[in-house]
Homo-oligomer: A and B are copies of this chain.
């Protein structure tokens, strides 16, 4: 196995999967999906379908049952109203799941090592910064170093969208010939509504604004 993709079932990770398959071939790519108590756990269903559609060699679903015991946030607790602008540069939104990408990347790396894979893909981006500190490049670089030392294994973390906006990602999906898959077969919405989603939560607003921007470039 060459690469492991952190696959949530959303736009970013689905596009990552396509990139990894394009580069290494589906037989050399595995996907890993986490259930961590998020209210939009429909993600797993979409992740399964995407893994099947791209024909990857293995897909693992990992349950992080512990997460709710160490922290809380609006994605875990349905009684909390989701707050925070998708472009906030002030305080982080209440949808921050503390340390989520650190756990995802570490677990993906442990599994990757057992498969002999040295490359991880994650769809994080700091271009459309939403106030999530573990989406920043400086974090991913530090996490990569910690993983290499923890496992004594030469893991490399690929973040193809780190400097891309959502509009850039839509353009890339079109270029890769997977625009329809991304538009219809992924779920980004915090309320678990596939495709265009609820249109109101920060994740939907970010996704749909990017799509609009991309469509604008086509009309020019």
Interface residues of A, Cβ cutoff 8 Å to B: 60, 62-66, 69-72, 92, 98-99, 101-103, 106-107, 109-111, 113-114, 133-134, 136, 138-139, 142-143, 145-147, 149-152
A109 to B145, CA, bound (A): 18
Question: Shortest CB–CB separation between residue A111 and chain B, in angstroms?
Answer: 4
CB-based nearest B residue for A137? B149
Question: Shortest CB–CB separation between residue A193 and chain B, in angstroms?
Answer: 27
- Contacting pair B62 A64 (CB below 8 A): no
A151 to B100, CA, bound (A): 9
Question: Shortest CB–CB separation between residue A148 and chain B, in angstroms?
Answer: 8
Chain B residues lying within 8 Å of A98, measured Cβ to Cβ, are 110, 113-114, 150-151
Between A114, A136, A149, the greatest number of chain B beta carbons within 10 A of the residue's beta carbon is seen for A149
- Contacting pair A107 B70 (CB below 8 A): yes
Question: Shortest CB–CB separation between residue A101 and chain B, in angstroms?
Answer: 7
Counted per complex, copies of this chain come to 2
Chain B residues lying within 8 Å of A134, measured Cβ to Cβ, are 149-151
Chain B residues lying within 8 Å of A101, measured Cβ to Cβ, are 150
Chain B residues lying within 8 Å of A142, measured Cβ to Cβ, are 142, 145-146, 149
A109 to B69, CA, bound (A): 13
A17 to B177, CA, bound (A): 57
Q: Given A111-B71, A114-B70 in contact, is the A102-B147 Cβ separation under 8 Å? A: yes
With A70-B114, A99-B150, A142-B149 already in contact, 10 other A-B pairs whose C-beta atoms are closer than 8 Å: A60-B70, A62-B66, A65-B66, A98-B151, A102-B150, A103-B106, A139-B146, A139-B149, A143-B150, A146-B146
For the complex of A and B, the 4 pairs showing the least CB-CB separation, nearest first, are: A133-B152, A139-B149, A142-B146, A146-B146
Chain B residues lying within 8 Å of A150, measured Cβ to Cβ, are 98-99, 101-102, 133-134, 139, 143
Chain B residues lying within 8 Å of A146, measured Cβ to Cβ, are 102, 139, 142-143, 145-146
Between A71, A138, A146, the greatest number of chain B beta carbons within 10 A of the residue's beta carbon is seen for A146
Chain B residues lying within 8 Å of A138, measured Cβ to Cβ, are 149
- Contacting pair A99 B103 (CB below 8 A): no
